[in-house]
Structure 1
Amino acid sequence: MRIGFEPHHEAFRREVRAFFATEYPARVVEVLASGRQPTKQDHQTSEQALSKKGWLAVNWPRECGGPGWDLTQKYIFDEELERAGALNVVPMGLIYVGPVIYTFGTEEQKARHLPGILNSTVFWAQGYSEPESGSDLASLQFKAERQGDTYLLNGTKIWTSQAQHADWIFCLVRTSKEAKKQLGITFLLIDMKTPGIEVHPIITIDGKHSLNRVTFQDVVVPVANRIGEEGKGWTYANFLLGHERTSYAHVAGKRRYLQAQRDWLAQVEDPAARASLAARLAELEVRLDCLEMTVLRSLAGAESEGSAGDQASIIKIAATELEQDISENALAFIGTPGVPWHAHSSVAQPPAGSNEALTSWAKRHARYYGARAESIYGGTNEIQHNIIAKKVLGLS
């Protein structure tokens, strides 16, 4: 068996690498390298550069505005993006709701919403979790009452990523309590400027503002904003979650971080400590190789089925647990984990030292604390184990 890339794929890699070296906005790379939190403008600058090249919606089919790449090209692109230290796309529009709209939406919905996603002029948020409905998403109580050609919405969504930047939000709402709980859910597209919507920031342990609580009080939304049929939202949500959980892998970014740790290893003077760290790095690298093979296998299936489906839960568990272990291992090079700090937070004072040392300390801790949540959001890993048992292994 030969594992490698064909010459035309290697030529494609060179093209992508040259783009990130010469055409991609260097200022965005500098923001990420400094450990600062990217702004909405940073995201738009990055995504519009990719859009201009025709490389933004890499997983979309050509007829919907994607580049029409094969599986290997998509994989190479992701590798080179993270290798260059570029900014990953905001997933809510491009990876989550976009495919739902072009698969299940009306022609009017496609015409209205897909162009704004493709040129990064319209930002989206995902309204799924609620204060009492996180892991068991099907138990959501966010109420949508049908009133002629509109729905009247009342309820709260929580842990809503990037809602402070969003122009639109897609929500799962409860339109019926009479049937099985999964059957009374509807999928709605909602303009964030609609009266009655308020965004309340949630500052996370790493000092960043990416999460929010979003409240809806007597919010009126046209029925025309509904995706598909009323009560079928759970079907569309499961389609979306297959895309979401596959997107957690970030194999190239993890490989880049492990290589950085390899470089740090050369600076460890104590032989026993160096041997221990080297063994741990080898274990993490083997696990990353296994994750990479799992991603490729899952994506190959998605090529024919349209979504990675239930097997995406395997990737979600493996990727998030590995990220937690990699980020924890980075702290082993600088001693006991401290408290979170970043350039815009007063949570704690950073250590004394050079700017370079300070940036390294801050970035490692921010990544460590941020990774703690990865096994919770997007459906807790405990729930993913249940999905694998029931849907993949066929256990009752």
Structure 2
Amino acid sequence: MNPCNLIDMLRNRGLISHIAHENSLNEIIQNHFISLYCGFDPTDDSLHIGHLLPLITLKRFQIAGHRPIVLIGGATSLIGDPSFKKKERIFCSNKNINLWTEKISKQISYFLDFNCGDNSACLLNNNIWFNKINILSFLRDVGKHFSINTMINRTAVKQRIIRPDQGISFTEFSYNLLQAYDFFILHEKYQVLLQIGGADQWGNISSGMHLIYRRNRKKVFGLTIPLLIQSNGIKFGKTESGTVWLNAKKTSPYKFYQFWMNIEDTNVYDFLKMFTFIDILEINQREKERHIGNNVMYDKSCLAKNITELVHGKEQLLSVERITHFLFSKQHIYLKESDFEQLKQDGIPSVQVKYIKDLQDALVYTSLAQSRTHAKNMIISNSISINRQKIRKNHIFNNQDKLFGKFTLLSRGKKHHSLLCW
């Protein structure tokens, strides 16, 4: 067995919010390889960075020799988990759920090893058993083990019940039983002993543990991972401009990378522990030396690179690094056409143009200048560049300015950019 104490490692990395029967679980995973699972409901066509910690935690268990099972909620996503939601979800169609299941299953496959022998990861869908279940049997065999009094006193449910403008439907209320049944089935058919999830899943995980004990008199385990909340109170992964997705077509690798570069300095070392596989002793040493020179920015860059490569791969990380050097360093870097496509997607402000009179007009059109006079003064003061080349007088655009025949980068100083897309 792996001599590493996995539970201690997870706690030292800040990855445990709740844990049930810790001593028993610790003893079992120290002496045996187990199967564990985490569920993901396909409620959109991509996972987002809020899903990263559960996936990374599954990966940590697999590295230690345990078998991770990913359960796609093809059935439960038709209901929608009400946990700590302010209002009921909009119901998804079967067609969308089937399409989204295919897409997020592919994303998940990048994180875990599905071909490594006895602890190969396994991907399942709970519609396998829910499509066959009889409602009367479910109410008799599952529902009878749950007290309404207990269920309505769960924090996630109580918060909705006390809101007269929203309340909670019976449909959502039943979700807790459905997820409990998932754990029960996985325990019976796949010998799953542990369910993990975000801290908001503790009530659902506890219900699964309860059902298995009531029906089989077997002790199983639950572990939740902290939910990350930003200083502005917004759930981690959400920004003013929207969710940070793992799908490169929804959030480009460059924007993904920049998200991590822009986190608060106070979070850098906690996130290095939680999101990367860098040795914790090295991270602790880096934290001690954070005030030396520009170490925090270097360590933030290390975090961004690690997570970008984990999610998008080495090739996309190299693209991100090219773009970053092109925009922010003095080095002369040549970008690929695909790099400019990332910038056009969401990397920097971009505008579609057919004809522009001159540079002054372009600066006004891209909002880099307030007026032609303002633009003229900036050009004279040597603060404007075209494709990283300083411009000292008004300029008429020509084909040489159009990289790959369609992109021109305008810059004001070092930090303000706009992309002309011809």
TM-score, scaled relative to structure 2: 0.19
TM-score, scaled relative to structure 1: 0.20
- Max Rg structure: 2
